[in-house]
Amino acid sequence: MMPGHVRAVVRPGGRRRGATVLLDGVRWTVRPGCGGPPATDVHWSVDPDGRAGARWAGSADVLRCGQPSPGTGAASLRAMKLLARHTGCLLTAVPADGGGLVIGVRGGRLLTVEYGPLPHGPYAGAGEAEVAVLASYVHGRLVAGLPLDPLSGLVAESAGRVLHLREVHPGA
């Protein structure tokens, strides 16, 4: 289980190595670089559903929900409501029941992310840690001014946990 609030660090690792995302001391590798490496980025990532979330959500750069919403429609609505309520936050990440994730970006854009198994290797699905890693990685791309469209096919992995983004449906 992820702590309610963490300092997240995103570091580019070069074109072939992708990027490193450090969350609460746990190192994740995100590959491939998907159209260029993200910026080196340090930000505050908060779970508004956590015990201390309400206290820290107002200062968060990223809000990543620990509790899934009942479907992508509800996740999209929650992502946009969180952005409206927390004006200093750049993006939100809300998982949906049954899999998938909605990432809301300041300015009104929504990304719907679907997960899929890798052709080889373990697949753990998306839990709180995976949601936090993807949210931090996307934050690093936004800070670098990189497009979000080429995220399909991205793989995030740490200590035997693997997450593969099968589809990313860019919203408006």
- Per-residue tens of pLDDT for the chain, all 172 residues: 455 667 788 887 765 567 888 888 788 888 765 566 677 888 888 888 877 667 777 778 899 888 889 988 999 999 999 999 998 899 999 998 877 888 899 988 888 887 665 555 554 456 777 888 888 888 888 888 887 776 777 777 777 667 767 666 666 4
Partnered with residue 101 across adjacent β-strands are: 95, 113
Maximum distance among all Cα pairs of the chain, rounded to whole angstroms: 42
Nearest to 168 by CA among 102, 97, 96, 90: 102
Nearest to 30 by CA among 146, 125, 135, 119: 135
Nearest to 33 by CA among 117, 114, 153, 143: 153
